[in-house]
Structure 1
């Protein structure tokens, strides 16, 4: 594939797909918990919303079939994306047609069922979208592609999270959610017009020979057999470890220092926008720096950002300082995430792109979730300051694994590309 900069049409296509994934995620993660509680729904039932995200973790189990099976009429990735995004649109439109008193009352289980279907469709679509992204972008420009992934997804979450909460009072539930469904439909236009069969024809000779029950084992065994793959997985699992350890305790620390819900909401919005900017900056720099230098530089900034949170312990009243450190941390987080995702794409095999990327992403998210779950215990034991400094030290130490991977014996080709 040519190393030329992707066309504007390609960039619009990828941005639209990832923004479409962020829209239902923002609705589920940010808007619905508020609305459910306002309608008196029990906290235990609101907590079930977290379980609805299981398809995002389990998609690794069916991802190989998405790489293997293609639609002769719609194309390979497009043949998955169009019907799955259509399913999400229909579910969200269905929510918009129902009265909130019904959904948050007697119809609560219908709401949860529709949301589970939305997550299942969106998570499966994500595999196909990631595979399409890897095939569309040359190595040099995968940082920019992942900027669109991170930025588009966060934009979608802001629209259906903060945006929907702002619109609910003046517009009402039905019209507000209806606008989300309409925006999803609009975002389907670029993939509908994309001529995948002509530009990216399916190459079945490079895929698995059969799609039977043994496909899952054969697919991932082939991935793990690649030279240096185990060393790279060590990088994937640990690169965001410091951030995962420290970031869950940022808001609790500010709450303990008297920050109100509204103040935290404003900080979250500003931080999200900073994260989008960081992702875009990281993608542009990745094209110039390459994988190794991007991972080292952005990873160091990520570690510094989370360690700097220790400066806010007891300083919550200094609003300017809080914003400066929080925005810096989010910019660094966006840059480091883009670098990691772009580097992950380098290890994806032809016609195995979706599942190969999914395995790496799922492994990273699983460990991050487990580590994040322990952050509260560590904060109680070490204090907020000790936790943030320790998380920063961990973030710096894991950069040694990045160097070890690129400098390992037989990695001359990887280092020259980096």
Structure 2
């Protein structure tokens, strides 16, 4: 095995796992814990719905991603110079929230809370750009699947800790101690990047970088879009997750209609999330062994089968074993296919353009999937749950010919710097 294909050192894997887990910690708080706590304190549902708007920085981050690639700290290093201050910002905000009582925060201080949560999302989304760029540079092609296993798995673990974990212990430990523990865990997750000597291992290469002046946004993404076969690759990105985006939002409503309780759904969600982490790890290993093309084809096929199999559960909610079997398989397939797709996206990133190139691809992948997902409820009313899941599976299969066509034409061509 050549040195470039050698498995990354354990210290590198720990570094990446810690960074992605750090992103999941505040995300779990926002997505899972706070909606429950706010409602328990009598906050209006319309205001709770505003939490979704706080995720806007994640959707808009492609607008400032090129500057993250261009502007480097001479003292801290390029990506490390962004990650450390941003992660410390999130820690500081969480520590401040822990010191403020929930009675005041969820009452007269609610708008301050929402503003601070928006800052957390802005910092975390920007840190994600730098982290993705660092990941692409640290990992050779063969092991990028493993890197994305750490991304998906670490993020989900972080979300479980601050989502399910916080809800489990907040009544016993109280708001201040529970949130303080989340901030403390984030401090631990910061230690690997604090010890990482990026300036020595990954020196910034200004000759490959564009000047951070007017027009950078257009110049940066124009260079990516002019890569050979990029139009066909964007079609792959748009299509690969459409079936999953169409079917997955209706899984829990289908089970609710079959009298599944909140507790039962919570247990299913927890075990499914763990299965998804396992699928992500499996996806990384398969990517290293099979390569990008076969990993994408296998992941896409299993993903389509998994979402179509949800049609078997319609009217079978009392068959708990069947529900768990299909749900766990679907989550394993989702984790595996996501890792394969993200690793393949890293192949398209140019040197010193890694963060923004990956960010734009991720934004494209989410755009159409989000619109399709928004229509899933209406389509479920028109087609029924069984029809929706069947069509979602067929839609997932339609992406596979695009994958095959792209790799036959352009799969061996590395990204160039324009």
Q: Which bin holds the TM-score, normalised by the shorter protein?
A: over 0.9
Matches within 5 A, 1:110-259: 110-208=112-210, 210-259=211-260
Q: Structure 2 CA distance, aligned partners of 1:44 and 1:348? A: 40
Report the equivalent of 1:319: 320
Does structure 1 residue 41 correspond to structure 2 residue 43? yes
Q: Structure 1 CA distance, aligned partners of 2:236 and 2:411? A: 15
Residues 370-416 of structure 1, C-alpha deviation per residue, up to 9 Å, x if partnerless? Answer: 110000010000000000000000101111110111122x65557xx
Report the equivalent of 1:341: 342
Query: Number of aligned pairs?
Result: 412
Residues 31-68 of structure 1, C-alpha deviation per residue, up to 9 Å, x if partnerless? Answer: 00000000000000000000000000100000000000
C-alpha distance 203-187 of structure 1, shift in aligned 2 (>3 A) = same
Which structure 1 segments of 5+ residues have no match?
A: none
Q: Structure 2 CA distance, aligned partners of 1:126 and 1:160? A: 18
Residues 246 and 392, structure 2, Cα contact 8 Å, conserved in 1: yes
Aligned-pair Cα RMSD in Å = 0.8
Q: Structure 2 CA distance, aligned partners of 1:108 and 1:367? A: 33
Q: Structure 1 CA distance, aligned partners of 2:380 and 2:63? A: 34
Q: State the Cα distance separating 1:87 from its structure 2 match.
A: 0.6
Residues 177-209 of structure 1, C-alpha deviation per residue, up to 9 Å, x if partnerless? Answer: 00000000111000000010000000011011x
Report the equivalent of 1:95: 97
Report the equivalent of 2:74: 72
* SS, match of residue 314 in structure 1: coil
Report the equivalent of 2:365: 364
Residues 335-383 of structure 1, C-alpha deviation per residue, up to 9 Å, x if partnerless? Answer: 0000000000000000000000000001111211111000001000000
Q: Structure 2 CA distance, aligned partners of 1:340 and 1:349? A: 17
C-alpha distance 412-174 of structure 1, shift in aligned 2 (>3 A) = closer
Q: State the Cα distance separating 1:212 from its structure 2 match.
A: 1.2
State the TM-score, normalizing by the size of structure 2: 0.98
Counterpart among 34, 40, 63 of residue 32 in structure 1? 34
Q: State the Cα distance separating 1:2 from its structure 2 match.
A: 1.4
* SS, match of residue 4 in structure 2: coil
* SS, match of residue 2 in structure 1: helix
Q: Structure 2 CA distance, aligned partners of 1:86 and 1:230? A: 39
Q: Structure 2 CA distance, aligned partners of 1:364 and 1:35? A: 32
Q: Structure 1 CA distance, aligned partners of 2:135 and 2:239? A: 24
C-alpha distance 412-151 of structure 1, shift in aligned 2 (>3 A) = closer
Does structure 1 residue 284 correspond to structure 2 residue 313? no
Residues 14 and 192, structure 2, Cα contact 8 Å, conserved in 1: yes
Q: Structure 2 CA distance, aligned partners of 1:277 and 1:347? A: 26
Q: State the Cα distance separating 1:3 from its structure 2 match.
A: 1.2
Q: Structure 2 CA distance, aligned partners of 1:335 and 1:32? A: 29
Which structure 2 segments of 5+ residues have no match?
A: none
The answer to which of 364-373 and 267-276 deviates more is 364-373
Q: State the Cα distance separating 1:213 from its structure 2 match.
A: 2.2
Q: Structure 2 CA distance, aligned partners of 1:213 and 1:374? A: 38
Give every structure 1 segment of 4 or more consecutive aligned residues whose post-TM-superposition deviation is greater than 2 Å. 410-414
Q: Structure 2 CA distance, aligned partners of 1:366 and 1:116? A: 21
